[in-house]
Structures are given as C-alpha cells and as structure tokens.
Amino acid sequence: MGMFLTFRRIAFLLGLSLALGVAVNQFHPNGIRWPLLQPRWNSADAKAAVRFISADSAFVLHLQGNINFIDVRPEEEYQIDRIPGAVSLPLIKFYQSPQMLEQLDPGKPAILYCFEPGCKEVNTLAKELAHRQFREVLILYGGFSEWLEKGYPVEE
C-alpha cells in the first residue's frame, strides 16, 4: 500500500512539473515555441543535406544573387557589420519566434554563418532549416572571419 502511494505521488509530481513547465514556457518571453517542440515524424524524406561552403564559393554565389545569407551571430554584431543582404537570425531569436523563417524563400539556397568556424548555433539552425523545406542549406565553413580575411564586401 505504502509503495503504491509513493509511486502515485511520483507520477503526480512528474505530471505536475511537466504541466507547469509547458504552461510557463508558453508565456515565457524566452520560451521555446511550440513548433520546435513538435516531433518531426514526417520530415525524414523532406530533409535536405547540410553542406559546408568556402568563403570563395559563397562570394561567387553572392555575385550571382538569389541567395539567403543568414547571420546567426548576436544582433549587436550584426548591426556593426554583415555580409551584404544578410538577414539576422540568432538561434535564441529563432527559438522565440520560429515563424521568422517565413520571411525567407526556401527555394533559394541558404548560407548560414557566425563569426568563428564551427559554432554550434549554426549547426543547430542548419538542421532546422533542412527539416523545413529549404532546398539547399549551406554553412560558411570559415565563418564571417574568413569572409573578412579575404576582403570580401561587408555592409555596415
């Protein structure tokens, strides 16, 4: 009897904390929005490959136009300088409002970058884009620092 009561209490506490967590998260200004909590059952087939791209190749694509540059650095850094035409989308902003992706055309290739090579935020966001009908998802391998080193144009 005592054992059963303890397990019922544990189950209640697990449920209570989950309900509380979901409820608070819903109204939390920095909460994780619902689309990002939904499991992606059907998206396995739609998944695009995420590839790396050098600053040189990215610059060629930039000259040809028709590309989404996505700046994943904090917004303050984006305000200072950025690749011309880039959209600011730090990971934290994406979690708070995933619908921001709607301003981008998924038909165009997306090139994501942060400042340093190999930052985790870029990888996470790239995976999200690949699951959301983006045809081509590319990561600027050397980051914005390589773009600057090569002397490619920046917008201030």
Q: How far apart are CA 153 and CA 25, in angstroms?
A: 41
* Residue 103 found at the interface with other proteins (CB under 8 A): no
Kindly state the helix (H) or strand (E) to which residue 93 belongs, with its residue range: helix 91-96
* Residue 46 found at the interface with other proteins (CB under 8 A): no
Choices 19-27, 44-52, 81-89, 110-118 (CB under 8 A): range interacting with other proteins = 19-27
Other CB atoms within 10 Å distance of the CB of residue 77 = 15
Choices 37-45, 56-64, 78-86, 107-115 (CB under 8 A): range interacting with other proteins = 37-45
Contact 117, 145 (CB under 8 A): yes
| Binders of other proteins in range 106-125 (CB under 8 A) | 120-121, 124
Choices 52-60, 89-97, 100-108, 110-118 (CB under 8 A): range interacting with other proteins = 89-97
How many residues sit close enough to other proteins to count as binding (CB under 8 A)? Answer: 33
User: Which are the contacts of 88, defined by CB distance < 8 A and separation ≥ 6?
Assistant: 71, 73, 75, 78, 82
Task: Tell me whether residue 30 or residue 64 sits nearer to other proteins (CB atom).
Answer: 30
Out of 81, 87, 95, 106, the only residue in the binding site for other proteins (CB under 8 A) is 95
For 6-51, the DSSP string reads HHHHHHHHHHHHHHHHHHHHHH-TTPPPGGGTS--TT-TTTPPPEE
Out of 4, 27, 38, 64, the only residue in the binding site for other proteins (CB under 8 A) is 38
Partners of residue 50 on adjacent β-strands = 137
Binding mask 48-87 for other proteins (x = CB under 8 A): ----------------------------------------
